[in-house]
A and B are shown apart, each in its own frame.
Chain A
């Protein structure tokens, strides 16, 4: 996919040269953290920072395990025009209030500086033992916009209307479809009508995102995650039914919609792409496969489509010294299935297999381009313990934790205070089964993943609270370990 023109490339190259000059003194890694809404981005970043800063257990991060990681601390971020990731508030929510922090609404950034003992001649004498880790948190929905850069308004309208007529969405889209029928695109532009269209369209998109229908492939992403642009004309457009016969009038509704679509691309999508996305070095994509499983095979398939679209946006490839000057490429991509603590560890491999299956196409492409891609099942904050029960002569692996108030399993409802052990159901050994079942009616309640509250904090030897996790250290090891040498 071609997302840039020659001027954009020039700008990226110039940025790259400037960054390279700065980095010879202090190496910096820009780590992008993304995922669709609810995947656990905020929790992941909060736990990652907390574990690094307060010396949590990271036995699988090589530098930490070898005792070479001296300390990590937060520093002012380099980009002054990007909101700061509100680490302090999130960590307070998790540890003191035992509630999950509010999710990502817009892009935010945080700089973490790691001091470590370098290895080898080059490291000790020239490179020095400091690494800036810039963590950039942005909603995965915004990535879905990137493909829009290649679409015209007419094409986008056709595609969007076509997807809304699929079986799973048809019902939700009904009010919007009715409105569309009534509107004449060649009529003179009317702001009220435009707003009505946009509102109906947004309502349709929102409904698709409800927990029951976890449908993910829904550009334009800012309609769901408006950030600071809510209500501006660049967000007040919607697809229309376009016939080729229609006359192009400069004052028609169609022309206005088209103009706004273009300005959405140039005001919203392109700056995000150039200022943030194209400058990443490493990327972790968080996937909440369990919620999709809860919602059924259609949601799962939808998520696969969304992820494939997301992964297609990356500029994967190996960074050589030359390419790191000229234009950065993402050279390591980690696809992480989050909330692994909702499953007994026997099923972690299967969860990993589902994540792999969802990203298989994109992974192949990235591997060919030279980037390393890995998938794993992790849990940034482990909210459960494991337990076993023998039922009808069979050993069931359970997870025990405190379910969030109002969650249900079968007919039982949880009050949010009592610790309970749950058997969430078995993931299938072959993930293809899940995807093949799409469109068919599946047995209800084959799995039921309940949301748990954050764990009661455990106090470490230094008196600081420790956040337990599953494989967070391995994820970190994959993402930054080569920079800690």
Chain B
């Protein structure tokens, strides 16, 4: 015998603790008396902090003024943002000549255009795009920023970079709208789809060569005015130094990490001691060493400017930190991968370059983004040497006669700027981490 209830039981609504606001409050904020006290204390802290910042930074603040005296006249208890606003160009571009600012902006824009395909789902050959960003973009941007006469080497690299940029962009557009890549579409366009592989490749190479010649001839007439390094500054300089630091850190770090894991004792010992040497001292001492000792290392008459000295120091520093990141990445690759690679007859460089590194690098991306954030923050130390990076500029405002003594507002502005940039990047790196590990677990 069975008692069957023919009617469906009506769905009960969720308990009050789960749906109502009061219920949420009770569960999340006042579940016990300790929690209640903590909540009250937290609310008080938030109230005091927010109110203080609001009154000083917004309510009582002065936004428009000619100099600091005027700020004082308008309001003595508020921030004087007028000085920061007047100095915005200095803060972002340093002393870069104002009519030439488009070059910096264009450089930034090119980077975005260059790297954007890496995030677009339907684009192929992302590795090539990524490599070209690391190896070609810096030269194009470097010329754009520094200007002057191009040597023959620079002409070749700049032409290469321009072609690569155009190619990348076309490839991306084609990829997004119709799928496939630039090479296939070119072959199709020329009606050579049926030709042999060799023929296809030769045609493509010919097109590439022709394009190179055209671009090379065109760029010969293109020069931009010289902007000496002393005029570089602000956020721009900070990004340039940390950008060079992180791009050169990658190859440097890989070499050092491989050296540290090498079976050859001499190479291992040298790499290890180099890494440990630079990791065990603060960046500021390395910068001091760069500025006081590098010039002594150079042969007489061979002069490096401050920017180069500092950049070399930052590169050495970040390469050693990157080496440890790479080493951690390499350790995560299971032994089976090495053995499998050996079995199919790959040598040391083949194993590393074709099998191990690509896997390890993919997993290192979040850490690399993390290192970049760290480096970006550490780069502010170059202001101690006297370079006008963003912190140097922010601290100079207070010395400008009209704005004499204005130093809290610029620092807060800088902190906010850094927070926005670093926060976005760190969120992104965490997102990547989740995404990549999800892929690995599938």
Note whether A and B form a binding pair.
Answer: no
Chain B interfacial positions (CB closer than 8 Å to A) = none
Chain A interfacial positions (CB closer than 8 Å to B) = none
